[in-house]
Chains A and B, each alone.
Chain A
């Protein structure tokens, strides 16, 4: 299902995609010289939000006009600003500890470098988080993605280990198809529990979160299945067109998702259902089908992530594959500015959030933080991001002195906007 629809939008997706793909890099580039160029910075959020976020765009564009101060306020007020700053700081820390961190080299026709690695290792998380974004936008949550990751990897590895010739591309494709098919079924199960029977999402998916681990272990028979299949290895560890294959898959999934939600009307309907389910029903939206679709999509994303993870290590571990990835994914979504209550969502924000988390993981290793403190360190950084994103916190810390003067320029510029 992914492959045939995947190609055409991918090539045509460049204009549609700056909101998702280009977003994080834009933010990174900005904060390196944050004092120097407020004007250029001011235009960034407008460009970055272009397709993913229609609500924030007018404020940003309007604010860009009246001048530096208002423009700067708009940038700082943008919900992706602080995650962007944190990502930049993390990258900066890496540069200090690891000279040549930013360099990207071409070896044997493949791109290498720490940045490429972050994107590559972050690929499964981005995938899961993108699926999670849509689920959260409907006001739900999916705790079962980690289990689906494990099940998908386990099933495909089991199938491949049973092949006479593990290098057989056809056999690997069947394995991939089976794994994704099962993921889809599991997602439909979640969706039916939530939309068909009205079970609270957190409970409905908790069932599969627990049971799914068992299912994965059942598939692997409690063992770690190891395989040796180079076609399968391509998915998580291989290269295609000089890029890691995983990055290409993520780009394709993102492009398709952005196309479906922002070019087509799926995004509006999802945001509507998440924003007010009763009103959406009365507006004639078939929310049940929509919710089931979203859970199925989320599980499919998790399934692909499961393929990547198991492919990367050429083995399936029913116990540990994708462990806690649901929490990282939820975190990525929240850092990306999508509210857990549902409604508005931002794919670009989610990608940024996932990159923050992945960069953090990389940083922990490269900076040499002792393993026993890594979790604490991670929690610390995440806390900082969340605090920076909270308007109440920023108000308290940054605007304590100049609240009144600060208020007048912001309220002055909309007056220009309204009659226009």
Chain B
């Protein structure tokens, strides 16, 4: 329509996997100097489309043209050489190498076969300077936050002559300030004429940064829209393929805090802490209570959860569960007392990728029973089928390997694993990160109903709205310290939470 010619055009793309038709007849185009959002629910085919584009998978049908020439990439390297660079959600650089080495690995500036270290460092800092990043390029990458690592990955991608930059959920582990920084970088790159393909589950971010969007649903193209012409509600409707009465906010606030606090305290942590990890905190979680934890990334939210689950040893303080003092030395000890923990890092700390959905789901229950008391096959089928349906895990095949599932469905499998052990305290660390709106609403509804049924829930999320919607009270963390514990009454808003985070509870 408009004069600019697409730098990239994909047409009629089809891709099948054993058991799944991931993409059917999808068209996509990308203009130079635009940020183009690829939208869709989990399993809609976003990741597959990106992997097809970048040569990770080959296509079954369809064609890709880059700058008017037909291309077919056999591997990501070829795609990169042609000018398509990708930065994934999980940064795939070498954390043990220095920042400069990471940027230039495989293409170090050389003279007579010798690496010119000084030149490499100089060019690395120059490159990062272009992205407004002033860091020590000789320090190992692992010394920096995930956000910085992501910028380094982008710097590397851009430096390899990227004309097309693919950002696959770059913001899912970043806090607000870091997202802002990333967006600045993206705008700058956009002005330089680079075409950016952006995937994110945060609608607000899409509306802030994207010029245009393409929506996929169930592996099919829904359409391409200008961001300015499509409202959020319409967008969500197109993504899930129906009008969203079931997405309307959860029936407002949960039960009154007072009513909940009258029930039995289930877990009481007194001055529980771990040196170097989180300052001693005191927190009580009642039966049927949802306690939210808010705070910036790295503020100690996960550390609190890990202490309560026995994943880390506490160095000070004590915990009692159900009124009895206990030592939570291992996750095993915690699970035996009815505590369950869904890690935010589901791939590294949650799922066993090579096992099937069924095996992953029964794992925690089986671990609790010990190896000598197997869960009878029929019981396994019952449990697994029940939760595949209840959580709408797709594909609904218990024998599918978990690594073949999309991120949101993996999260559901992890949830199912802990739900079948019927815990009394469920710790959810970022359960809705990186998953789509539909699944998000499902999980939120689930949490509310579990709490109604008497389960205590510790709910950790970077999204303050979500924390507010679900929690009876909210613990606020800042700099590895629990700085405030606020009842979720009418006065508590995201604004108040943000102020508390900013001020550290000093009012």
Q: List chain A positions with a Cβ less than 8 A from chain B.
A: 54-55, 57-59, 260, 263-266, 268-269, 271-272, 275-276, 278-286, 290, 343-344, 407-408, 410-411, 414-415, 417-418
Contacts of A415 in B (CB 8 A): 16, 21
Can you report 12 A-B residue pairs in the complex whose CB atoms are below 8 A from each other?
A55-B401, A264-B371, A264-B372, A266-B371, A268-B363, A281-B311, A282-B309, A282-B311, A283-B417, A285-B332, A414-B16, A418-B20
What is the count of residue pairs linking A and B with beta-carbon distances less than 8 angstroms?
Answer: 114
Q: In the complex, how many residues of chain B place their beta carbon closer than 8 angstroms to a beta carbon of chain A? A: 45
Residue of A nearest to B375 (CB): A265
Q: Mark B86-122, 1 if CB is under 8 A from A, else 0.
A: 0000000000000000000000000000000000000
Q: Are A411 and B16 neighbours in the complex by a CB distance under 8 Å?
A: yes
Residue of A nearest to B366 (CB): A265
Q: Are B374 and A264 neighbours in the complex by a CB distance under 8 Å?
A: yes
Residue of B nearest to A273 (CB): B352
**Given known contacts A264-B374, A415-B21, A418-B20, is B369 in contact with A282 (CB within 8 Å)?**
no
Residue of A nearest to B400 (CB): A58
Q: Are A268 and B366 neighbours in the complex by a CB distance under 8 Å?
A: yes
Q: For the complex, is B19 an interface residue (Cβ under 8 Å from A)?
A: yes
CB distance from A359 to the nearest CB of B (A): 30
Pick the contact of B354: A265, A266, A269, A271 (CB < 8 A).
A271
Pick the contact of B371: A58, A265, A280 (CB < 8 A).
A265
Distance A32 CA – B18 CA, assembled complex (angstroms): 30
Q: Are A344 and B371 neighbours in the complex by a CB distance under 8 Å?
A: no
Contacts of A282 in B (CB 8 A): 309, 311, 331, 341, 343, 349-350
Distance A57 CA – B374 CA, assembled complex (angstroms): 20
Pick the contact of B368: A55, A264, A284, A344 (CB < 8 A).
A284
CB distance from B394 to the nearest CB of A (A): 10
CB distance from B152 to the nearest CB of A (A): 25
Q: Are A269 and B371 neighbours in the complex by a CB distance under 8 Å?
A: yes
- Within B408-422, the residues touching A (CB, 8 Å) are 417
Q: Are A271 and B352 neighbours in the complex by a CB distance under 8 Å?
A: yes
CB distance from B221 to the nearest CB of A (A): 20
**Given known contacts A264-B371, A282-B311, A282-B341, is B18 in contact with A410 (CB within 8 Å)?**
yes
Distance A263 CA – B369 CA, assembled complex (angstroms): 14
Pick the contact of A55: B332, B356, B362 (CB < 8 A).
B356
Contacts of B362 in A (CB 8 A): 268
Q: Are B348 and A278 neighbours in the complex by a CB distance under 8 Å?
A: yes
Contacts of B335 in A (CB 8 A): 284
Distance A264 CA – B375 CA, assembled complex (angstroms): 8
Q: Are B367 and A411 neighbours in the complex by a CB distance under 8 Å?
A: no
- Ranked nearest first, the 8 interchain pairs of A and B with the lowest CB-CB distance are A284-B335, A275-B352, A284-B367, A414-B19, A265-B374, A411-B16, A266-B371, A285-B367
Which of B330, B336, B350, B355 neighbours the largest number of chain A CB atoms within 10 Å of its CB? Answer: B355
Pick the contact of A59: B18, B359, B369 (CB < 8 A).
B18
Q: Are B20 and A272 neighbours in the complex by a CB distance under 8 Å?
A: no
Beyond A55-B356, A58-B399, A281-B331, 9 extra complex contacts between A and B, CB < 8 Å = A55-B401, A269-B366, A271-B355, A281-B311, A282-B309, A283-B331, A283-B363, A283-B364, A411-B17
Contacts of B373 in A (CB 8 A): 264-265
Contacts of B18 in A (CB 8 A): 59, 410-411, 414
Contacts of A59 in B (CB 8 A): 18
Q: Are B343 and A344 neighbours in the complex by a CB distance under 8 Å?
A: no
Which of A269, A282, A286, A410 neighbours the largest number of chain B CB atoms within 10 Å of its CB? Answer: A282
Contacts of A278 in B (CB 8 A): 348-349
Q: For the complex, is B298 an interface residue (Cβ under 8 Å from A)?
A: no
Distance A103 CA – B399 CA, assembled complex (angstroms): 42
Q: Mark B285-329, 1 if CB is under 8 A from A, else 0.
A: 000000000000000000000000101000000000000000000
Contacts of A410 in B (CB 8 A): 18
CB distance from A141 to the nearest CB of B (A): 18
Q: For the complex, is B215 an interface residue (Cβ under 8 Å from A)?
A: no
Distance A264 CA – B373 CA, assembled complex (angstroms): 6
Q: Are A283 and B367 neighbours in the complex by a CB distance under 8 Å?
A: yes
Q: Are B350 and A272 neighbours in the complex by a CB distance under 8 Å?
A: no
CB distance from B413 to the nearest CB of A (A): 12
Distance A279 CA – B353 CA, assembled complex (angstroms): 10
Residue of A nearest to B368 (CB): A284
Contacts of B366 in A (CB 8 A): 265, 268-269
Contacts of B369 in A (CB 8 A): 265
Residue of A nearest to B306 (CB): A282
Q: Are B356 and A54 neighbours in the complex by a CB distance under 8 Å?
A: yes
Distance A226 CA – B6 CA, assembled complex (angstroms): 84
Q: For the complex, is B397 an interface residue (Cβ under 8 Å from A)?
A: yes
Distance A417 CA – B370 CA, assembled complex (angstroms): 34
Contacts of B309 in A (CB 8 A): 282
Distance A279 CA – B311 CA, assembled complex (angstroms): 11
Distance A281 CA – B333 CA, assembled complex (angstroms): 11
Distance A148 CA – B375 CA, assembled complex (angstroms): 35
CB distance from A1 to the nearest CB of B (A): 15
**Given known contacts A54-B399, A411-B16, is B374 in contact with A275 (CB within 8 Å)?**
no
Contacts of A268 in B (CB 8 A): 355, 359, 362-363, 366
Residue of B nearest to A58 (CB): B399
Distance A55 CA – B354 CA, assembled complex (angstroms): 9
Q: Mark B46-63, 1 if CB is under 8 A from A, else 0.
A: 000000000000001000
CB distance from A403 to the nearest CB of B (A): 9
Q: Are A407 and B60 neighbours in the complex by a CB distance under 8 Å?
A: yes
Contacts of B349 in A (CB 8 A): 278-279, 282
CB distance from B353 to the nearest CB of A (A): 7
Contacts of A265 in B (CB 8 A): 366, 369-375
Distance A408 CA – B18 CA, assembled complex (angstroms): 11
Q: Mark B110-150, 1 if CB is under 8 A from A, else 0.
A: 00000000000000000000000000000000000000000
Q: For the complex, is B458 an interface residue (Cβ under 8 Å from A)?
A: no
Residue of A nearest to B16 (CB): A411
CB distance from A67 to the nearest CB of B (A): 17
Distance A278 CA – B364 CA, assembled complex (angstroms): 13
Residue of B nearest to A264 (CB): B374
Q: For the complex, is B477 an interface residue (Cβ under 8 Å from A)?
A: no
Q: Are A411 and B356 neighbours in the complex by a CB distance under 8 Å?
A: no
Distance A54 CA – B354 CA, assembled complex (angstroms): 12
Q: For the complex, is B210 an interface residue (Cβ under 8 Å from A)?
A: no
Contacts of A285 in B (CB 8 A): 332, 363, 367
Contacts of A276 in B (CB 8 A): 348, 351-353
Q: For the complex, is B76 an interface residue (Cβ under 8 Å from A)?
A: no
Distance A343 CA – B330 CA, assembled complex (angstroms): 23
Q: For the complex, is B265 an interface residue (Cβ under 8 Å from A)?
A: no
Contacts of A417 in B (CB 8 A): 19, 397
Pick the contact of A284: B19, B331, B343 (CB < 8 A).
B331
Q: For the complex, is B395 an interface residue (Cβ under 8 Å from A)?
A: yes
Residue of B nearest to A408 (CB): B60
